[in-house]
Structure 1
Amino acid sequence: MLIRRDLLKASATLAAGLGCLSVAGRGFAQSGAMLTRTIASSGEALAVIGAGTSGSFETGVDSPQLQQLRQVLKVFFAGGGQVIDTSPNYGGADAVLGQLLEEGGWRGKTFLATKIAADSRAAAEAQWAGTLRSLRTDKVDLLQVHNLRDWQRQLPYARELKAQGLTRYVGVTHYVDSGLDELERILRQEQLDFIQIHYSVNSPAAARTVLPLAQNKGVAVLINRAFDDGRLFARVKDQALPAWAAEMGIGSWAQLFLKFAISHPAVTTVIPATSRPERQLDQLKAGSGPLLSDAQRKQLIEQFA
C-alpha cells in the first residue's frame, strides 16, 4: 500500500522530471525527441517507448495507489508516450486504466491496446463488452488474441470488430520461447497488423525468425518482458553499465535494456510496466538518442547468455 512518505517522494521526483520535460521539450532536447516507428499497414507513427499494465495497474479503482498511477500517466504523456497495453486478464488493470484515462482527459492521446482471452465465441463477445465498459471507451486502437489462445476462432472475431470500426488494428501475442514456432506459422499464413512478443538481452530468440519475418511482412511489433519480469535488475545489481553507455546517452540499466529492444529494426514499440513515476521518467529516456549497433547488441546477448 502506498504510504504518505512514498507519495511525497514520488511527487518530488515527478516535479523535477516534469520540469525537465517542459519548456519546448527540454529534457529530451539534448538527445532529440522521442523516436517513432511506422506501422506498415497504415503509415501511422508510434513512439518507441510505450507502457504495460500487467502487475503495475492491478489494483482497485478506489485504491490509495491510484494517485501514484495518475502521476505515472502524467509523466508518460508529458514525455511523448502513446501506446498503453492492457488485458481483461490483468486483475482489473483495464478498469483502473480506463478510469485514469477518463479523469485525466488522456484517451485522445492514447494508442490503446487490449486483448481477447477467451475459449469460445460467446465468451469472447461477453468479454469484449466488459472490456469496453472497463476502459470507458467505445473502441480501441489494437485488439490482440492473448497468447494465441483459441486464435483460430478469436482472430476472425477480432477482424469482425475491425470491420465494424471497433478496433483499428488486430494482432496476436505471446510471451515465452515455446510460442515462437506457432507464432512464426501464424505470421506466414495470416494477415496481421501487429504481433506482441518478448525480446530481451537474455531472451533474444525472437530475432532468429519471428522478428525478421514480421519486418518482411510489414507487421508491427510490440515487445513485452524487456526486463524479464524484473529479473534482469537482480543480475546487474551493483554492476556498472558498459563503458560505451554514457556515449549513447544511456544512464541506467533500464534504459539500456529498453534501448536494446528498440534497436532491432523490426520493433515498433516496447511496453515496460511500472507503477512508479520516477521509473516511468527514466524509461522514457531510452526513446531518444542513438540506437545500439549490431556489435553492441551482440555484446549484451553474450553478457547475459
Structure 2
Amino acid sequence: MIDENKISRRQFIRISSYLAAGLVLPIETFAADQQIYKTIPKGGEQLPVIGMGTSRTFETRNDSALFAQLQQVMQTFFDLGGGMIDSSPMYGSAQQIVGTILPNIKGDKKLFAATKVWIDGQQAGIEQMEKSRKQWGIKQFDLMQIHNLVDWQNHLETLNQMKADGKIRYTGITTSHGRSHNQLERILKQHDFDFLQLTYNIGNREVESNLLPLAQERGIAVIINRPYQRGSLFRQVKGKALPEWAKEFDCSSWGQYFLKFAVSHPAVTCSIPATTKVKHMIDNMQAGKGRLPNKKQREMMIKYFGSI
C-alpha cells in the first residue's frame, strides 16, 4: 500500500487522470527526489536501481483491458525515471507485448533493453535473439543474457562475437534456481560476463555468501529477480506494521522495504520487480528514491523481518 505521506490520494488521482488521458506526468509530480543510480562496473554507465520485469505480468493475449493496463504501467515506469526492462522468450507473449507498447510511450524514455536467449543450439540461439529483437522493435539490445545456463558454452561464444560486432552492448547470464549456484560460480570464475541475474531478497539471502562477493570481485553488475519471492514476503508480513525506524531510509511500505533491502547490497546494481498495477509500479519506483539502508540498518531489517 502506498503511504499517503509520500503519495497523497490527490496525487494518485492526478497521476491516474494523466495516464487515462494518454498524457505524460508533469516532471514536478515527483521532482522532490530523483531515482538512485548505480554504476555498471564494466563500462561506467549508470542505471536506475529499480527496473521492470515482465515474467508472469506481460504474458497476455487477447485481453484488451489488461493490455491497456500494462501500457499505463510501462508509461508510469518511464515517467518516474525507469530504465531497464527485462524479458525472455520463456515468458510467453511478453516480448511481443513489450514491443507493441514501446512505440506508444509518450515523453522521454531511457530504455535499457534486456532479454535472454533460452534454447539449445548455437544457430537456434542466433535465430531466437533476432526474433526477440524484431518483437521488441529495436535496433539493438543493451543486454543479452543466457537464461538459466541453457547451452551456455555455445551461447557465450555467440554473445561475445555479437558484442564485438556492436550488435549488443553487454553480456549476461541468469539463474533463478538455487540448485544452479555451484555451477554458476564455476562459470563466473572461468569466463567473463558483464551482468549476472539471480534471486536475492530478505527471505532468501543464500547468494550473500558466494555469488554476490564473486560478482564484486569480478566486476560484474548484478540484477535481482524475485525481490518479493513471488509474493510470499508480502504474505509473511500481512497485517504487520513497518518499524518506525524505516523512515530513516525513506521507506513507507513493505514493498519499498523489500526493494530497498535488495538494491542496498553493495554488489547489486538493480532489481526488476514485475507488476500489472499502476499503484504498485508507483510504489516500486518510490523505493528507488531517497536514502538506502546502510549496513547497520540492513541488519536491523533482517532481524525485524525474522521476528515476524
TM over 0.5: yes
**Is 1:116–1:145's contact at 8 Å kept on the other side of the alignment?**
yes
Say if 2:254 is the partner of 1:253. yes
1:269 is aligned to: 270
**Is 1:49–1:271's contact at 8 Å kept on the other side of the alignment?**
yes
- CA distance in 1 between counterparts of 2:93 and 2:76 reads 22
Structure 1 residue 237: Cα displacement: 0.6
2:230 is aligned to: 229
Instruction: Within 5 Å, give how 1:160-199 maps onto structure 2.
Output: 160-199=161-200
2:302 is aligned to: 301
Structure 1 residue 40: Cα displacement: 1.3
- CA distance in 2 between counterparts of 1:100 and 1:239 reads 37
- What does the per-residue CA deviation read over 1:77-117, in whole Å, with 9 as the maximum and x for residues that have no partner? 11111000000110110000011012226796210000000
**Is 2:36–2:288's contact at 8 Å kept on the other side of the alignment?**
yes
Q: Mean Cα displacement is larger for which, 241-250 or 69-78?
A: 241-250
TM superposition score normalised by structure 2: 0.88
Structure 1 residue 27: Cα displacement: 2.8
1:126 is aligned to: 127
**Is 2:75–2:106's contact at 8 Å kept on the other side of the alignment?**
no
- What does the per-residue CA deviation read over 1:224-247, in whole Å, with 9 as the maximum and x for residues that have no partner? 000001111111110101221123
1:7 is aligned to: none
What secondary structure sits across from 1:185 in the alignment? helix
Structure 1 residue 303: Cα displacement: 4.6
- CA distance in 2 between counterparts of 1:300 and 1:117 reads 36
1:244 is aligned to: 245
- CA distance in 2 between counterparts of 1:179 and 1:165 reads 30
Distance 1:13 1:278, change over 3 A: farther
- What does the per-residue CA deviation read over 1:230-267, in whole Å, with 9 as the maximum and x for residues that have no partner? 11111111010122112322111000000001110111
Instruction: Within 5 Å, give how 1:98-117 maps onto structure 2.
Output: 98-104=99-105, 109-117=110-118
TM superposition score normalised by structure 1: 0.89
**Is 1:249–1:289's contact at 8 Å kept on the other side of the alignment?**
yes
- CA distance in 2 between counterparts of 1:199 and 1:47 reads 18
- CA distance in 2 between counterparts of 1:105 and 1:136 reads 16
- What does the per-residue CA deviation read over 1:148-195, in whole Å, with 9 as the maximum and x for residues that have no partner? 111111111111221222210001000132222222212211111100
**Is 1:14–1:278's contact at 8 Å kept on the other side of the alignment?**
no
Q: Which amino acid aligns with 1:287?
A: G
- CA distance in 1 between counterparts of 2:49 and 2:262 reads 10
Structure 1 residue 125: Cα displacement: 2.0
2:141 is aligned to: 140
2:292 is aligned to: 291
Instruction: Within 5 Å, give how 1:55-94 maps onto structure 2.
Output: 55-60=56-61, 63-94=64-95
CA RMSD of aligned residues (A): 2.1
Q: Mean Cα displacement is larger for which, 54-63 or 82-91?
A: 54-63
- CA distance in 2 between counterparts of 1:145 and 1:164 reads 18
- CA distance in 1 between counterparts of 2:157 and 2:109 reads 27
Candidates 13, 21, 30, aligned match of 1:27:
30
What secondary structure sits across from 1:64 in the alignment? helix
- CA distance in 1 between counterparts of 2:54 and 2:138 reads 17
Structure 1 residue 296: Cα displacement: 2.6
Say if 2:280 is the partner of 1:279. yes
Q: Name structure 1 gaps, 5 residues minimum.
A: 1-10
**Is 2:85–2:113's contact at 8 Å kept on the other side of the alignment?**
yes
Count of matched residue positions in the alignment of Structure 1 and Structure 2: 291
Distance 1:132 1:258, change over 3 A: same
Q: Which amino acid aligns with 1:58?
A: E
Q: Which amino acid aligns with 1:234?
A: R
Structure 1 residue 295: Cα displacement: 2.7
Q: Which amino acid aligns with 2:137?
A: R
**Is 2:223–2:270's contact at 8 Å kept on the other side of the alignment?**
yes
**Is 2:99–2:135's contact at 8 Å kept on the other side of the alignment?**
yes
Q: Which amino acid aligns with 1:215?
A: Q
**Is 1:13–1:278's contact at 8 Å kept on the other side of the alignment?**
no
Q: Which amino acid aligns with 2:39?
A: T
